[in-house]
Structures are given as C-alpha cells and as structure tokens.
Amino acid sequence: MILKQPAFQDYKGIQIAGVAGKRFDIEIRDGRFTSVVEAGPGYEGSEGPDDLGQEPAHRELSPQELWISPGIIDLHTHLAWTDFDHDDQLARDSEEIERMQAEALAATLRTGVTTARDAGGLPPDTIRHLVQHYQQPLRVETSSAMLGAADAKGIGHLEKRLAEVYATGAGWVKIMATGGLGAPAEKVTDPNFSEEEFAFIVRHAHEHGKKVLVHTWGGVTIDWSAQAGVTSIEHGMFLTRDQAGRLAEAGVAYVPTASIYRIAADPTGVLALPPVICERAARAADAHAAAIGYAREAGVRLGFGTDYATPALHGNNLQELDTLIGYGLSRTEAWRSATEDAAVILGKGHELGRIAAGYLADAVIYTADPYQARNADELRESIAAVITAAKETDLI
C-alpha cells in the first residue's frame, strides 16, 4: 500500500527501526512528522486515513506489531533505461518505453525507496510526464545526459555540453571519468578526460549551482575528485587506503553500488551477460569489499546506490543492504547509508532520512523488525505500507 502525502496518521506505540527497547507515538500531518515522542504505558492502537483525504479508520495491524523506518534513498539508479544494451532499448517503441519507465518508478517505490537520484538518462521533463500521467509519487533528482569519453574534445565543447545539461533543469552533472564493464581490465581506470577538462567540468557545474557525481572505478580520477570537491564518487572498487583518506578530508562521499557487480558476475543470473562482461564484473566485485573497508576506516560518508537499470532489477533495491553488510558494514551503518547519510549527500539532511518532528514523512511501515531481516527478500515481504510526503507539485 502506498500512502500519498497522508493528511493525518497517528501511530501509538510503534517501534522505530534501529531503536531497541522503546516504542513511540508518531503523528503525521500533511506529509510531515509533527510529533515523535517516546510512548508511555497504555497505548492501544493506531488511527489514520487509508489514503489522502479519507477519514481515520482502524488499521488491520496494531502498532504493537509494526516498525517504522525512514524511506530508503537510492543515490544511483537508472529509471529511464529498459535494457542493459542500449541498442535493445532503441528497438522498442516510445509507448512501450514509457510504460516500462512508469513501472520502474512504481517498482522502486514499492520496495520502500521514496527518493532516488537518477544517475543519467532521465531528463526532468520525463519525470514530470510520468508523475502527472501515472501518478507515481517517487521523488527523483536527475543528472540528465552523462559526460563521457565522447565529450573529451576540449573546454569549448564541454561548455556547450554543460549548457545542454543545465537547460534540462537537472540538478546534477555526472562525469564518466573512467570506463566500466565495457572496458578491458587493463584500461578500466584510465581517465576519459584530461585533468584540465575534469577540473573545468566540476568548476563550471559548481559556478552554476549544480552538484557533481563521478563514475570512476579507480586510479587518478579519484584523486581529481577529492581535489575538485565533487559531491560523490560512484563504484570506486579500486579505491586505495590513501585515496580514502583524501576523500574523507575533502568531504567527498562514496556510493559503491556493490550489489550490481555481483549480479552482473553471475552468467546464469537475471542479466545473463556475455562471459567477458561477467569476468570483468567478478573482478570488480572481488575488489569492492576492500575499497568499502578503506572508506569505512577513513570515515568517508557512505551512500546507498544500486545502479539498477532494467525491469529485472528495479524493485530489488534492498539487495544492496545485503551486499554492504556482507562487505563488512554493520547493519546500522548499512541502514544509515540508505537513509540519514544518503539524505546528507543529497543536501537534504535537514528534512529527509530521519523519523523526527519537522521532517518530511517519507517512511516505510514493516510487520517485522527490519533490522532483524535475514535478507532482502524477507525484508521486502515485511513491508506493509510506503508513506511518501511528496505531492505532485513537489515532484514536477
């Protein structure tokens, strides 16, 4: 069940995920938490609208059986993409692509993700259309087109390309600083841009009020990112211990997107990629645990991102929690990367990512303690409702 900007919700004696041994009385009005206080004795139930504008009605489950967490924030997804191979998407007609994009938003929201940063491919006008036509209240920040190797043609060309990105209304600029799964192993950390070009992109974006995220598998572009003060680096599986320290000093966040490489490495998995791509993904997955460990040790802010980009993946976002925990993060650290820390990376730590009075009421209600879920499947099955504070005017 999706509760869209509820006019009123009142949960008495509900448990907040990650807060052991306490229950809370939580009130939501017009899409914001208006009261979050520790519950006294004698709580007896929860009342609230079944949907926006309806009168209060008793829920099927007592709040004594429910847990609440902030809505998940996926900092790296691709909601516009329908196929792993772009040529396959080009073969689809526009109506089919639109339907698949709308379902990507719906599936992402159903899994508890209430805010997403699209990491390239989705312009704001597409979001406006999907929100208005399909009524999917997923909050999305966009970076529109990505700047990659084909744009390494000097400052003049980059200035024109950046103007095109700004014209879309996107709030982010994404730099494809290195190759990815399509690059040979010995070249995957080679920079796509000169240091001068890279520094120009970041400086120009900042001068125009845009944040910058950087796709990099490793190498010198991580150092350039720290020097330039980008908001976050993505993937970064060949991050070194020294580089992690420099990221921490510069306040640059790290979004590892770890689960997608384990998925891509499986030749029998949902993506069923060619063997050479699977081998490259396996190499990346093998390196990720060390990189995440270096970042954690150095105090780099870690963000939750999936890099999911096809119908087979959208809606399975919670697998990233399993992978982060498997790579050494505590359960609390993994959840914080998907909520409070992710909100800070977006520049919205003052209003998203926490269950606290005054914050936007983006939240997930569970029928079991999410911190005790054995895996993503069990966690997803325990979702009773997703609450989103977003209204149409916020989203478009």
Q: What is the pLDDT along the chain (396 residues), one digit of tens a residue?
A: 888 888 889 999 999 999 988 999 999 999 999 999 998 765 544 444 343 333 333 345 565 689 999 999 999 999 988 887 777 778 888 888 899 999 999 999 999 999 999 998 889 999 888 888 888 889 999 998 999 999 999 999 999 999 999 999 999 999 999 999 999 988 999 999 999 999 999 999 999 999 999 999 999 999 999 999 999 999 999 999 999 999 999 999 999 999 999 999 999 888 888 999 999 999 999 999 999 999 999 999 999 999 999 888 999 999 999 999 999 999 999 999 999 999 999 999 999 999 999 999 999 999 999 999 999 999 999 999 999 998 766 666
Q: Which residues, listed in sequence order, are joined to residue 225 by a DSSP beta bridge? A: none
Q: How far apart are CA 271 and CA 391, in angstroms?
A: 34
Does 298 lie in the same domain as 156?
Answer: yes
User: Do 54 and 15 belong to one domain?
Assistant: yes
Q: How many domains does the chain have?
A: 2
CATH number at residue 228: 3.20.20.140
Are residues 28 and 123 located together in one domain of the fold? no
Same domain membership, residue 110 and residue 14: no
pLDDT in tens, 255-282: 999 999 999 999 988 888 899 999 999 9
Q: Are residues 163 and 61 in the same domain?
A: no
Indicate if 48 and 183 belong to the same structural domain: no
> What CATH number corresponds to the domain at position 54?
2.30.40.10
Those residues whose C-beta lies under 8 Å from the C-beta of residue 155, and which sit 6 or more positions away, are 196, 197, 200
Pair (14, 87) in one structural domain: no
Amino acid making up residue 154:
G
In order of 9, 31, 92, the CA distances from 69 in angstroms are 15, 15, 38
CA gap 327, 285 in Å, rounded: 10
pTM over 0.85: yes
Tell the residue number behind the tokens 């996926």, with chain if given: 74
Residues 59, 119 within the same domain: no
* Residue 66, domain extent: 2-70+353-395
304 close to 255: Cβ distance less than 8 angstroms: yes
* Contacts for 315 with CB less than 8 Å, ≥ 6 apart: 107, 108, 110, 111
In this structure, the answer to whether residues 17 and 91 fall within a common structural domain is no
